[in-house]
């Protein structure tokens, strides 16, 4: 019975379908660096995994106070953050389309807020100084 319920819930979820292949190699001479971080919004959504997809590839997760960087090719990129509870997509995914130029650093801030009784995610591009206010300087320095 429980398995049927879980299968039914999973079938209704709308997470991006992870691609089985790995993203194509990126030319280091033109690579764009995406710096993704989750702003500290307390414990809102702390127990929920926030998986990050770029152009359909699952590239990481942004749980409370986590950050990472990723090299991508320049041009239009779709970034999607999808909450998962117990491995099942839930909540509303956040989509952001960016168009970075070659050798550009792009800082993406993900934060959760409460809307009625649900946690709702927001993603925005920010500059390095704004990111530095929310992520420790040593953490950014270690990633540069």
- The neighbouring-strand residues paired with 107 are 35, 126
Number of domains in the chain: 1
33-68 tens-digit pLDDT? 998 888 877 777 777 888 999 999 999 988 877 888
Q: For residues 51 and 15, is the Cβ–Cβ distance under 8 A? A: yes
- Taking the C-alpha atoms of residue 10 and residue 89, their distance in angstroms, rounded to an integer, is 7
Q: Which of 80, 78, 137, 129 is nearest to 107 (CA)?
A: 129
CA distance 33 to 74: 9
Report yes or no on 75 lying in a domain: yes
Range of the domain at 35: 26-143
What are the tens digits of pLDDT across the range 85-105?
Answer: 887 887 788 899 999 999 999
CATH number at residue 54: 2.60.40.2890
Does residue 21 sit within a domain? no
- Please report whether residue 46 resides in a domain: yes
């Amino acid at each position: 019975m429980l398995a049927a319920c879980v299968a039914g819930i999973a079938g209704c979820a709308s997470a991006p379908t992870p691609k089985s292949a790995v993203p194509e190699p990126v030319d280091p001479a033109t690579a764009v660096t995406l710096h993704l971080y989750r702003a500290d919004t307390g414990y809102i959504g702390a127990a929920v995994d926030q998986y990050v997809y770029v152009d359909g590839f699952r590239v990481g997760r942004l749980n409370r106070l986590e950050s990472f960087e990723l090299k991508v090719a320049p041009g239009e990129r779709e970034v999607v953050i999808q909450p998962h509870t117990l491995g099942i997509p839930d909540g509303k995914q956040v989509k952001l389309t960016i168009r970075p130029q070659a050798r550009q650093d792009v800082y993406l801030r993900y934060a959760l807020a409460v809307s009625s009784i649900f946690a709702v995610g927001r993603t925005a591009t920010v500059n390095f100084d704004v990111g530095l206010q929310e992520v420790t300087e040593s953490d950014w320095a270690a990633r540069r």
